[in-house]
Amino acid sequence: MTQQKNWNKTSYGSYSFSINGVERGSLNVTNHRKEAEARIDGKNFKIKCRGFLKLFLEVLDDAGNTVLKITQDSWLASRWEMLHNFKRYRLVLRNFPLAQYVVTENGKEILSYGLKTQKFKPYLHIESETTERDLLMDFVLWFLYAPIVHESTATGLPRYTSAIAAV
């Protein structure tokens, strides 16, 4: 089964997220890319970068409870530990051939956001091993990955589209 996930830029720092043409949420980035407000299927979340060097990330629900947390292995590392729904995941940044964020669970890739090229133009490519995955991870990866897409596309593409294969 294949899904079509789309990130659409609605205004500066604001995006809408849809799956197969059905809007599922929105993301509004604030405070110089250090915070964002997310709305996913009617639920509100706040994404915040924490720490002196902003190496840590927390997602808070409406009640102020931490629902997802990302901590970096070390300030030099390109990998992080993600804690979500009492499960541990690994988040890795790969830079070859193009930048890609990958979430793994027990060594198995479960979600990735990366750039690919088509007719010499970069586009966002999203892969997921299931359609049942919590969408909060998509929003966190887009929060982290959007600056890379903006930098790489240079033309400021208003829409980021990708097919996602569910296994």
Structure confidence at residue 157 (pLDDT) = 47
Question: 20-34, 104-118, 148-162: which has the minimum mean pLDDT?
Answer: 148-162
The pLDDT of 88-110, averaged and rounded, is 89
**What are 17's strand-pairing partners?**
7, 25
Query: Is residue 96 predicted with pLDDT exceeding 80?
Result: no
CA geometry: angle 142, 145, 146, nearest 5 deg: 75
Query: The whole model's pTM is what?
Result: 0.86
103 contacts 111 by C-beta, under 8 angstroms: yes
The tokens of 117 are what? 């090229």
The pLDDT of 23-29, averaged and rounded, is 95
Q: How confident is the model at residue 108 (pLDDT cuts 50, 70, 90)?
A: very high
Question: 32-41, 72-81, 150-159: which has the minimum mean pLDDT?
Answer: 150-159
Distance, in Å, from the CA atom of 83 to the CA atom of 8, rounded to the nearest integer, reads 27
The pLDDT of 55-74, averaged and rounded, is 91
Distance from the Cα of residue 159 to its chain's centroid: 15
Distance, in Å, from the CA atom of 137 to the CA atom of 104, rounded to the nearest integer, reads 11
Q: Is the dihedral of CA 128, 131, 137, 140 positive or negative?
A: positive
Distance, in Å, from the CA atom of 161 to the CA atom of 32, rounded to the nearest integer, reads 24
pLDDT above 90 covers a percentage of the chain that reads 45
Closest CA to 136 of 53, 64, 54, 36: 36
Structure confidence at residue 82 (pLDDT) = 95
Would you call 150 exposed, middle or buried from its count of C-beta atoms within 10 A (0-12, 13-18, 19+)? middle
Query: Is residue 167 predicted with pLDDT exceeding 80?
Result: no
